[in-house]
Amino acid sequence: MNESDGDLRADCGACAGLCCVALPFAASADFAEDKPAGRPCRHLTADHRCGIHDRLRDSGYQGCAVFDCYGAGQRVTARPGLVPGAAMFEVFRVTRQLHELLWYLAEAAERAEPAEPSALYAEIDALVAGDAGTLVATDVDALRARVGPVLERAAARVHAGAGAGDGRDLRGADLVGARMRGARLRGARLRGALLIAADLRGADLRTADLLGADLRDTDLRGADLSGCLFLTQPQLEAARGDTATVLPSRLSRPAHWPAAHPGGAHGGAGHMAGPSAGKATPRGRAKGYRPGKRSGDGSGGRRGRERYEGRRKGTGGGPGAGRGGENRNRGTDRRPDDRG
Ligand code: SF4
């Protein structure tokens, strides 16, 4: 498989519905009910289609609406010698994690000096294509630990070449519910940042590094995400945006995002008053971020966080677990060095 995006995009028509059988999920704000690993979802049809595909969000399956297998489903379905069952599901589980790494490496190769990410891409791709027993025994965490620095160096090259602002360091920052409307975050390092329900309307996020940032319900209406690094479709699907949100060319506008307000009144960076308007601090609090403001008793931020913690499923924990809007309980979902 080469580094083309096409091989890393889900093709549900060529898949045996693996994600709807192999993966578990738990009743929550993202799933209407419990489903153990290996049991077909009751909405899966005989021809491997989702019977509620056109109404997933309205039916309580937001977690399915934001999920992406990065092309692992059709690749595993096409593997010779595997039939649906425990062995195939395990191959899918590992392949899906490795395909996500391939997605990041493909972007790194495209955006910066390609030699290093391309070599690692080829190594991981060969692993996915190789013996199934070797594949499922892969130490995925060890591979992640190798991919992380490669992506870090690629981001540094992109930022150096783009003159990308001051590259504010907000890695892993807790910005849940932060008010950052119109923030100037060009080139910011937001790896693993908690931006859940943050207000980033009209923000300048050009070339920001968003690897593993939690964008669930983040308000991106009118924001400029052009050239963003390591932003994925599941992150976008979990966020709020509109037709005025500017996206990186690699990604698609989520179908549920509405048309922009005719007045375009999202308050971009250029409209902010004063030199510090919209600035987010390295300590992780945006100017104007007031936890508890909503309830008046100082507990609003905490409650908001607890609400989303409740939505996080998974038993793996660790950096990035369940982040980026991917809320299925896969137990081992992590990202390379997102510092979450
Ligand atoms: S509801 Fe989700 S898990 Fe069930 S069939 Fe549809 S997409 Fe698959």
98-124 per-position pLDDT tens digit: 999 999 999 999 998 899 999 999 999
Question: Please, what CATH class does the domain formed by 165-315 belong to?
Answer: mainly beta
Atom of ligand 1 minimally distant from the CA of 59? 1
What pLDDT sits at residue 293? 31
C-alpha to C-alpha distances, 55 to 31, 87, 125, nearest whole angstrom: 13, 31, 34
d(CA 306, CA 310): 6
CB of 170 closer than 6 angstroms to any ligand 1 atom: no
Ligand 1, atom 1, residue with closest C-alpha: 43
- Selection from 211, 197, 190 nearest residue 323 by Cα: 211
CB of 21 closer than 6 angstroms to any ligand 1 atom: no
What pLDDT sits at residue 261? 81
Ligand 1, atom 3, residue with closest C-alpha: 20
C-alpha to C-alpha distances, 184 to 117, 167, 228, 278, nearest whole angstrom: 29, 10, 14, 6
d(CA 339, CA 319): 6
Pocket mutation for ligand 1, best pick of 15, 25, 44 (most atoms within 8 Å of C-beta): 44
C-alpha to C-alpha distances, 273 to 183, 196, 251, 279, 301, nearest whole angstrom: 11, 25, 32, 11, 26
- Helix, strand, coil share of the chain (percent; to 5): 35, 5, 60
Token pair for 119 = 């070599």
Token pair for 214 = 């939690």
Domain ranges of the chain: 5-161, 165-315
248-275 per-position pLDDT tens digit: 999 999 999 999 987 665 655 443 333 3
Residue type, 284: G
CB of 52 closer than 6 angstroms to any ligand 1 atom: yes
Query: Cβ(18)–Cβ(88) under 8 Å?
Result: yes
CB of 43 closer than 6 angstroms to any ligand 1 atom: yes
Atom of ligand 1 minimally distant from the CA of 64? 2
Cβ-proximal residues to 143 (8 Å cutoff; 6+ apart), any chain: 98, 101, 124
- Sites in the chain below the pLDDT cut of 50: 269-303, 310-333, 338-340
